[in-house]
Structure 1
Amino acid sequence: MNIDLHTHGKLSKKSAFSPEYFAEMMAEAKENGLQAVALTEHFNTSNFYAMYEALDRLYPYNGHYYDVNGLKLFPGMEVDIAETGHILLIGLKENVLAVRALLEAHTLEGSFIPFRQLLDYADEYRLWKIGAHPFRTSTPLHQLDPELLKRLDAFDYNAKDIYMQGAEAYKNLITPFAAQLGVPVIAGSDSHQCLQYGSVVNKLHEPCSTVEELKEAVKQGRYEIELSPCLPVKVKASVMMKKLLKQLAGEAPSRDEAEIEYQA
């Protein structure tokens, strides 16, 4: 089963959830050979709950994943922590929403939740914990307490960082770092825009229908990571398109988008 474990359902934090835009994203994911994705939208995106309410209206949910026209969509979110960094949490929808409710006082910069407390919440609600883009310049994780990092279930080999730093250079950073901590590495496209799907893919040795099965497959090493030879074009085109769409909506580009454009 081919799965992308870091994806977004909206163009940006400020944009409204668009069922049409989301449907186009999922159709493109399927076109790029994916059978499943984890929806890890930012926890402090505007109208976070409305996004899941819309999904409940539009697609059947079997208790573990949404069936989006044949594509498995596992619920999740991406959370900022006080020490700087992002953590992906994936699990049952009711557990994702329960932890999101606990974060209501931590949605603004300056009030983000401490790493240890988020890990405790995630463990209590049986959520899969993935350290997002641990070597990204703007939101690094690698400098944090190793004993806390060891509690993560995986680190994110992220398409944007591969593009920015080069596949070999980034692999040489994340692989020994994760190995020293005893934490596996998974792939995430970090797609906000459909062109980025397929840039990186986790190729599981068997299909999985629950997050627990996904977690066990990764823990046992029953998967490979595949990088598309078109990754640079996919990421660059996606970021440029996202920036254009945000400009049309009156939004400024993010720091990461500006860095990618500068490099390009």
Structure 2
Amino acid sequence: MNIDLHTHGKLSKKSAFSPAYFAEMMSEAKVNGLQAAALTEHFNTSNFFAMYEALDQMYPYNGHYYDVDGLKLFPGMEVDIAETGHILLIGLKENVLAVRSLLEDYTAQCSFIPFKRLLDLADEFNLWKIGAHPFRTSTPLHQLDPQLLKRLDAFDFNAKDIYVQGAEAYKNLITPFAEKLGVPVVAGSDSHQCLQYGSVINRLHVSCSTVEELKEAIKQGDYEMELSPCLHTKVKASVMMKKLLKQLAGEVPSRDEAEIGYLA
């Protein structure tokens, strides 16, 4: 089963959830060979709960994933922590929403939740914990307490960082770091725009229907990560399109978008 473990359902935090835009994203994901994806939208995006309410109206949910016209979509979110960094949490929809409700007082940059507290919450609600883009300049994780980092279930081999830093250079950073902590590495496209799907893929040797099965397959090393030979073009085109769409909507490009645009 081919799965992308870091994807977004909206163009940006400020944009409204668009069923048509989301359907186009999922269609492009399937065209790029995906059978599954984790929806890890930012926890402090505008109208987070409304996004899941819309999905409930659009697609059947079987207790583990949404069936998006044959693609398995596992619920999740991306959470900022006080020490700087992002954590992907993936699991049952009711558990994702419950933890999001408990994070209501932590949505502003001045009041993000401490790393340990988030780990404790994730464990309490049985959520899969992935350290997002641990070597990204703007939101690094690698400098944090190793004892806390060891509690993560995986680290994110992120398409945007591969684009910025180069595949070999980024692999040489994340591989020894993750191995020293005893934590596996998984691929995530970090797609906000449909052109980025397929830039990186996890090819599981088994088909999984629950997050527990996914977690176990990764833990057992029953997968490979595959980078598209078109990764550079996919990420560059996606980020440029995202920047254009945000500018048309009156939004300012993010620091990461500006950095990628500069390198492009």
Q: Using structure 2 for the length normalisation, give the TM-score.
A: 1.00
- Equivalent residue for 1:246? 246
Residue 56 (structure 1) shift = 0.3
1:115 aligns with 2:115: yes
Distance 2:260 2:54 in 1: 32
1:20-41 CA-to-partner distances (Å, cap 9, x unmatched) read 0000000000000000000000
Residue 155 (structure 1) shift = 0.0
Distance 2:84 2:110 in 1: 10
- Equivalent residue for 1:136? 136
Secondary structure in 2 matching 1:174:
helix
1:80-103 CA-to-partner distances (Å, cap 9, x unmatched) read 000000000000000000000000
1:20-72 CA-to-partner distances (Å, cap 9, x unmatched) read 00000000000000000000000000000000000000100000000000000
Residue identity in the other structure for 2:25:
M
Secondary structure in 2 matching 1:218:
helix
Residue 106 (structure 1) shift = 0.1
Structure 2, gaps ≥5 residues long:
none
- Equivalent residue for 1:58? 58
Secondary structure in 1 matching 2:152:
coil
Distance 1:63 1:114 in 2: 30
Q: Using structure 1 for the length normalisation, give the TM-score.
A: 1.00
Distance 1:103 1:204 in 2: 32
Distance 1:51 1:69 in 2: 18
Residue 7 (structure 1) shift = 0.0
- Equivalent residue for 2:49? 49
State the identity %: 86
1:179-233 CA-to-partner distances (Å, cap 9, x unmatched) read 0000000000000000000000000001000000000000000000000000000
- Equivalent residue for 2:258? 258
Structure 1, gaps ≥5 residues long:
none
Q: How does 1:227-246 map to 2 (within 5 A)?
A: 227-246=227-246
Secondary structure in 2 matching 1:110:
helix
Residue 178 (structure 1) shift = 0.1
- Equivalent residue for 1:173? 173
Distance 1:95 1:136 in 2: 28
